[in-house]
Amino acid sequence: MTRQRQTILEILRSTSSHPTADWIHAQARKRISNISLGTVYRNLKVLKEMGEIVELDYGSTFSRFDGNPISHYHFVCEECGRVYDIDLPVDQGLEEKVRQRTGFEIRSHRTEFYGLCLECQGRKD
Amino acid sequence: MTRQRQTILEILRSTSSHPTADWIHAQARKRISNISLGTVYRNLKVLKEMGEIVELDYGSTFSRFDGNPISHYHFVCEECGRVYDIDLPVDQGLEEKVRQRTGFEIRSHRTEFYGLCLECQGRKD
DNA sequence: GTAATTGCAAATAATTTGCTGGGTG
DNA sequence: CACCCAGCAAATTATTTGCAATTAC
């Protein structure tokens, strides 16, 4: 656990904004001025494999990262691209239903909602 | 509606394998030998905007495309990368719950399951 | 006839990787 | 001291785009 890895994890733990690798890199530079983007990507991959963070790889051309590894729903605004957490209990029974129906071994599932967030509704595009 | 667009749509309608742009391009070449990959991408984008097809942009570094635009669940095998359709009714009530909870305008939602498909379980990796 | 669309090749954008030197336990 | 990991820059991969010629209606 290097200083770089620790810093990246702290940044992700302290925000609920589901940031991009670039944004994380910019924040990390405030603390370690010469940290490289490659290092950010490498550590995001390691932290993901450790189960400490989750990669959100949908809804745009780039990934966002979530410092909360506990399963929860997400909402993606189709206007501004922001990702919000949805505070509703996740239906865990679904996985068992899919297992019974398919015989597949289900390790996880996730649900994303798409639409317009409050701010973007206000802008009436 | 050009011959190229028609061909791409037919290819997608006639398979349930959720192919990649590359695979679609290879198939299309069998019918239109000089069709370009750029044309495939351009038409996939148009067909998606028309609501004829759906882009599955998660679970790997590249997109897959689904010729069935009716909302249904997907399963992504973490071993072989294949995407399967899941024959279970989609919970449409969820969108209303999220709308009530957040005030967001919900246009759609989707759910993906991750794990091991039957073939990959058999291989006991 | 006119606007949309094609093929081709070059450009882009995000992410990954090779290398070499430095830090960690 | 053995190995993992950092920084840097170049490479890779999927996708997008500019342009001149062609096709659709």
A50 lies within 8 A of chain B by CB: no
pLDDT in tens, B24-36: 999 999 999 999 9
Domain boundary among A66, A95, A111: A66
Residues B59 and B23 in one domain: yes
What DSSP string describes B48-107?
Answer: HHTTSSEEE--SSSS-EEES--S--EEEEETTT--EEEE-S---THHHHHHHHHH--EEE
Residues A82 and A62 in one domain: no
- Tell me: do B27 and B45 sit in the same domain: yes
Residue A38 has pLDDT above 90, yes or no: yes
Q: What is the pLDDT of residue A6?
A: 96
**Is A96's pLDDT higher than 70?**
yes
Distance of B52 CA from D5 C1′ (whole Å)? 47
Residue B55 belongs to what domain range? 3-66
Residues A10 and A51 in one domain: yes
pLDDT of residue A86: 97
Contacts of B101 (CB under 8 A, 6+ apart): A86, A87, A88
Q: What is the pLDDT of residues B38-92, one digit of tens each?
A: 999 999 999 999 999 999 999 999 999 999 999 999 999 999 999 999 999 999 8
Interface test with B, best of A109, A112, A118, A120 (most B CBs within 10 A): A109
Q: What percent of chain A is modeled with pLDDT above 90? A: 95
Q: For B103-113, write each residue's pLDDT tens digit.
A: 999 999 999 99
Q: Using an 8 Å Cβ cutoff, are A25 and A39 in contact? A: no
Residues B8 and B49 in one domain: yes
Residue A124 has pLDDT above 90, yes or no: no
Domain count, chain A: 2
- pLDDT tens digits, A39-89: 999 999 999 999 999 999 999 999 999 999 999 999 999 999 999 999 999
Nearest to residue B54, comparing CAs of B41, B43, B39, B64?
Answer: B64
Binary contact (A102, B111; C-beta < 8 A): no
Residues B57 and B7 in one domain: yes
A to B CB pairs, distance under 8 Å: 103
